[in-house]
Homo-oligomer: A and B are copies of this chain.
Amino acid sequence: MLDIINTRRSVRSWNGKQIGGGDVTEILEAAMNAPSAGNEQAWQFVVLSGKTLADYLAINGNCPKGATVGILVCGDKKVQKYEGFYLYDCCAAIENILLAVHAKGMGAVWTAVFPGNDAKVQELLNLPEYVVPVAFVPIGYAADGQPEAVSRYDAAKVHTNGW
């Protein structure tokens, strides 16, 4: 498990091989087993593929292309217990998605939905007003030639009982 955490890295190019629907469901299960503020689970997930995925990528141009599927992780403002805490829930869920993808031998990257694009994404996907896009995670089998992960542990960022 620590090995999976420590060897995960962002993947931004894929080889086009399709992902099974069962894999996507298992990845979503991992996402929903993240902790959430007050256990409110203030998240919603939209799985994009095919034409809708292409349309999404045309709107949010910062996202690398080539994945066969992707998960748009959204906050659910209707169920969040504390204002703005859906963001915490979603970030924990996204990290679980990235780890589950890596554990399955696939690769993904956390991409932002930029302010200004979020309204366009809500319109494209017909999202209710209370469902707020937080991040998009394109998923696929990594193209050959990905660099190895390098540990980012930095002892200078560790402080004991104060600064």
A residues with CB within 8 A of B? 1-2, 4-6, 8, 10, 25-26, 28-30, 32-35, 37, 41, 43-50, 52-53, 82, 87-88, 91-92, 94-96, 98-100, 103, 109-110, 112, 124-128, 131, 149, 151-154, 157-163
Contacts and interface: CB of A to CB of B under 8 A. Distances in A.
Given A41-B152, A92-B94, A95-B92, A161 B2 contact: no
Interface of A is mostly: mixed
In the complex, the count of this chain's copies comes to 2
A57 to B, nearest CB: 13
A31 to B, nearest CB: 9
Contact of A163 (B10, B29, B125): B125
A1 B92 contact: no
B33 A159 contact: no
A99 B5 contact: yes
A157 B128 CA distance: 13
A163 B131 contact: yes
Contacts of A160: 46-47, 49
Given A2-B103, A99-B99, A125-B163, 11 more contacts: A28-B158, A32-B151, A32-B157, A35-B110, A45-B157, A46-B159, A47-B158, A87-B87, A95-B95, A125-B161, A125-B162
